[in-house]
Chains A and B, each alone.
Chain A
């Protein structure tokens, strides 16, 4: 049975206490770690605002604790809403079964995900058990950074959805295009998709690391490259290790650009084509561009 609770938190500026609504699936559980972490949301959001220079509106983000199975379903629904394609899984029965197994394994290992179409952070109940409050706070920082990216640069995320749609179309159908051209377009949209995801993940990972250090958190969980490299879109493309390499570089590059200043980071989000060039897959990617 799902219940909704308002988790209160103190405002930084001494204003009246506010609250965030969180949906909890199991009436019998206390969810102590998530409630404690949610009570620290003002600290987490002000960390994101300070590091990005962006105004972040927490009132437009929902929180829900769900089962791993629900998380999987909600994630697929989110991708469907964003891309207009019913499923990102391959069409054949066998490939679909393999894909489902991989997806289930992936979602069991994920603590939380930001779903752009719902503007909500869904938290995996099965992964929540036994996690420390520090780990939950660190994870929330990562996912809220994605929510902040969405609020500040919605078009950048729309561009990613467009590329995921293109990639899926060329990967499965491609209309009456010759096979070679279809493969080329598939590769191109896939490369650009992963370059842009590297920026989103690179920023979320880098800021999470800074927050962990500043707040003295001992988090046993790290989200980021793994979250994406094993994610929905990349699962269909061979070369998982190569993708992980790309995300490692993405994070290192983001840290260097972040050190230059907020203006420099913003320029990346305003010019996705430069992201394709800078965060693409190494020299190979640059040559292709």
Chain B
């Protein structure tokens, strides 16, 4: 991805292939950084598996618990 145009084109193309195969993108996936989104979709297509949204969601929901644990460890 050497410039904005190429990067946008590559992302558009991989998004299209993903949607054709697995259906619409979950909002949590669609909001990822473009470069990260590109790799996640590429990997999902290569593995033949839809992105595991649940584990991403669960992982992000855990951030608060982990922060609480960190504060406990600091005391």
Query: Are these two chains actual partners, yes or no?
Result: yes
User: What is the 8 Å Cβ interface bit string for chain B, positions 53-66, against chain A (1 contact, 0 not)?
Assistant: 00110111011001
Q: What number of A residues sit within 8 Å (CB to CB) of B? A: 33
Report if A84 contacts B (CB, 8 A).
Answer: no
- Residue in A220, A222, A240, A274 whose CB lies within 8 Å of B70: A274
Q: How far is the CA of A224 from the CA of B69 in the complex (A)?
A: 25
User: What is the 8 Å Cβ interface bit string for chain A, positions 92-113, against chain B (1 contact, 0 not)?
Assistant: 0000000000000000010000
Contact A241 B52 (CB under 8 A): yes
Q: What number of B residues sit within 8 Å (CB to CB) of A? A: 31
> Chain B: which residue is nearest A240 at the CB level?
B43
Contact A241 B44 (CB under 8 A): yes
Q: How far is the CA of A137 from the CA of B71 in the complex (A)?
A: 34
Asked whether A244 and B59 contact (CB < 8 A) given A253-B67, A264-B74, the answer is: no
Q: Name the interface residues of A262-284: CB closer than 8 Å to any CB of B.
A: 264, 267, 274, 277-278, 282-283
Report if A226 contacts B (CB, 8 A).
Answer: yes
Asked whether A277 and B43 contact (CB < 8 A) given A256-B63, A264-B74, the answer is: no
Q: How far is the CA of A194 from the CA of B4 in the complex (A)?
A: 31
Contact B63 A278 (CB under 8 A): no
- Residue in B2, B36, B55, B67 whose CB lies within 8 Å of A225: B36
Q: Which chain B positions have C-beta within 8 A of A248?
A: 32, 36, 56, 59-60
Asked whether A244 and B62 contact (CB < 8 A) given A220-B7, A256-B67, A274-B70, the answer is: no
Contact B62 A283 (CB under 8 A): yes
Q: How far is the CA of A230 from the CA of B36 in the complex (A)?
A: 11
Report if A127 contacts B (CB, 8 A).
Answer: yes
> Chain A: which residue is nearest B70 at the CB level?
A278
> Chain A: which residue is nearest B6 at the CB level?
A130
List residues of A whose CB falls within 8 A of some B CB.
109, 127, 129-132, 220-222, 224-226, 229-230, 240-242, 244-246, 248-249, 252-253, 256-257, 264, 267, 274, 277-278, 282-283
List residues of B whose CB falls within 8 A of some A CB.
1-4, 7, 32-36, 39-40, 43-44, 47, 49, 51-52, 55-56, 58-60, 62-63, 66-67, 69-70, 73-74
A-B contact pairs, 22 of them (CB 8 A): A130-B2, A130-B3, A220-B1, A221-B1, A222-B34, A222-B35, A241-B40, A241-B49, A242-B55, A244-B43, A245-B55, A245-B59, A249-B63, A252-B60, A256-B63, A264-B74, A274-B73, A277-B69, A278-B66, A278-B69, A278-B73, A282-B55
